[in-house]
Amino acid sequence: MVISLIKSLLAVSIVSGLMTLILFFIGGINPIISFSSIFFGQIFVYYLWTSVVAWFVALENKRLENERIAYFNIQGIDVGCAYCRKKTLVPINLSIDNDYVCEHCNKENSIYINITTTQVTNPLAVDRLSVNAFIDEEELAKKAIIEKENV
Ligand SMILES: [Zn+2]
């Protein structure tokens, strides 16, 4: 971090020094004024450049986020046509009316969406009925029937 900062300041200083020398020998401009102007000018341009890039990146991120939200609003579902009962994959968008034309019979259909809620249930804390237990109970029942017939 500190080393990269020193490298950047050194590069800016070298560029400012070279530009100052050129301006001094060609135009006779005051070296202190030209060096400080070029030095701080470069820092200002760099700040302006990073700010503009950050603004563009933030704008692009916002656009992608909006695109993603719009995409999540749309989901496809297989529905049967109200006329011919043939299945068609129709995009469902919760923010608009969902009408579609059946690709089999070319008749217009409307999709009605009914959203309900339900209670969350927890499984009972008992052992599940296993196949073996079921067979054992069946065998016991058969034995009981046989014993009953023999008595
Ligand atoms: Zn149809």
Would you list the domain boundaries of the chain? 2-72, 74-110
pLDDT of res. 128: 62
Residues flanking ion ligand 1, Cβ below 5 Å: 81, 83-84, 102, 104-105
Cα separation, 140 vs 145, whole angstroms:
9
Does 127 score more than 70 pLDDT? no
Residue 88 CA to chain centroid, in angstroms? Answer: 27
Task: Measure the CA dihedral 134/136/142/144, to 10°.
Answer: -120
Distance 88 CA to ligand 1 centre (A): 9
Share of the chain above pLDDT 70, in %: 94
For residue 107, the SS3 value is coil
Comparing 140 with 64, which gets the higher pLDDT? 64
pLDDT of res. 133: 65
Q: Give yes or no for a contact between 111 and 99, defined as CB atoms under 8 angstroms apart.
A: yes
Q: What is the mean pLDDT of residues 29-44?
A: 93
Distance 83 CA to ligand 1 centre (A): 5
Residues forming a β-bridge with 100: 109
Please give the structure tokens belonging to residue 2: 């500190």
Q: Tens digits of per-residue pLDDT, 5-35?
A: 999 999 999 999 999 999 999 988 899 999 9
Indicate yes or no: pTM above 0.75: no
How many residues in the chain? 151
**Alpha helices, DSSP H only, in 28-130?**
31-73
Share of the chain above pLDDT 90, in %: 53
Distance 85 CA to ligand 1 centre (A): 6
